[in-house]
Amino acid sequence: MKEVSILGVKINVFTKKTLRQELGICFRGARGCSFAKINSEFLLRASKKADFAETLAKFDYGIADGIGVLWAAKFLSLPIVKNKALRVPQAFYQGLFTACSLVIYPKYVQKPIPERIPGVDCLYLMLEATVETESPVYLFGAEQEILDQTKENLEARYSQLRIVGSHHGYGFVEKEIIDEINRLGPKLLVVALGSPRQEKWIRANLQSLPSVRVIVGEGGSFDFIAGAFKRAPRWLQRLGLEWLWRLFMNKSKTQTGSRFKRIWQAVPVFMWTVVKYKIKYGANKSEEQ
Ligand code: UDP
C-alpha cells in the first residue's frame, strides 16, 4: 500500500473504497490494527513533540482527515532544486501555487492522496465494515449523555450494528475498562478521549485487548453523531473546510487556547512548517506527480 510522509508522519493513500476493503481485511485478520486520523494540528504537534511523533509512528494506518494533509502531500511531492539560493523562492512559489489550487482547481492536490476521509465519515465506514463482518463494537469516551445519544443514533442508523458495550471518558478506572472490553470481546474499539490522550491510550493498551481487530482514535465524532455539535454545511464540506467550521463553531473539550489561535496554528503555522521542512529536507522522493 502506498504511503506519504509529511513532517515525518506516515499517511496511507486511501480512498473511501480502498479503506473499506482494508477494514474488511483487518476485521477478518488475526491481529489488532490501529488507525490514527491525521489532520494539520496532529502533524504540527508531531513535529514539535517527539513523544507524539513516536506514538503516531507505532500506528498501523494514518488516515488523511483534513484538506491540509492533501495540500502538504502535493506540495512535498513537487521536485525542488538542490541549489539553496533558488530553493527558498521555489518552495514559496510552490506553496502559494498549491494553496491557490485548493480554491481554483482542487483536483490538482488530489495526488498523491486522492481524497480526505473526514472523522465522522471514516467512523461510518468502520461501522459499515463491522455490520458486513458481523463484528461487535465498543464505544469508549465522551460524556455519558453524549455517549448514550451516540449509541441510540448509531443503532437507529444501522439496524444490524452490534454495540456490545460503552463507557464514558471521564474519571474511569483503567483496569476496569480493559477487563470489561476483554469480557465483551468487541472487534471494533472506538476511543474518543481527545488527542493526544486517545492515541497514547491506544498505543499503551492495544496489546492487552486480544479480541480487538480495529482500534481508532476518534476525537469529537461522538459529539457530532449525538447532535451536540453541528456538522458543516455540505458546500463547506465540499470545499474541504469542515475543519474551519469545527474550529469556529465547536470548541474543543481538550485543546486549550482561543479559536483564533487554533486556526492560526492549523493554517499559516502549519503551512510555514511544511515549507521550512521542504527547504531543509527536499521533496518526497517516491511520489508520482
Ligand atoms: N473526552 C473524554 N475525556 C477527556 C477529554 C475528552 O472523553 O478527558 C472526549 C470529549 O468529551 C469529546 C472527545 O473526547 O467527546 C474529543 O474531545 P475534543 O473536543 O477535545 O476533540 P479534539 O479537539 O481532540 O478533536
- Residue whose CA is at the smallest distance from ligand 1 atom 25: 219
- Residue whose CA is at the smallest distance from ligand 1 atom 8: 170
Parse the chain into domains and list their residue ranges.
1-289
Query: What is the per-residue pLDDT for 252?
Result: 66
- C-alpha grid cell for residue 71? 495540500
Query: What is the per-residue pLDDT for 282?
Result: 93
When pLDDT is averaged across residues 222-230 and rounded to a whole number, the result is: 88
| 142-175 tens-digit pLDDT | 999 999 999 999 999 999 999 999 999 999 899 9
CA dihedral of residues 96, 101, 106, 110 (deg, nearest 10): -50
- Residue whose CA is at the smallest distance from ligand 1 atom 17: 194
Query: What is the per-residue pLDDT for 270?
Result: 95
| 30-65 tens-digit pLDDT | 999 999 999 999 999 999 999 999 999 999 999 999
What is the 254 CA–ligand 1 centroid distance (Å)? 6
CB-hemisphere CA count at 13 Å for 227?
A: 7
What is the 169 CA–ligand 1 centroid distance (Å)? 8
Q: What is the DSSP letter of 212?
A: -
What is the 194 CA–ligand 1 centroid distance (Å)? 4
Q: Residue 271: left if φ>0, alpha if ψ -120 to 50, beta else—which one?
A: alpha
Closest approach atom of ligand 1 to CA 254: 20
Predicted TM-score (pTM) above 0.85? yes
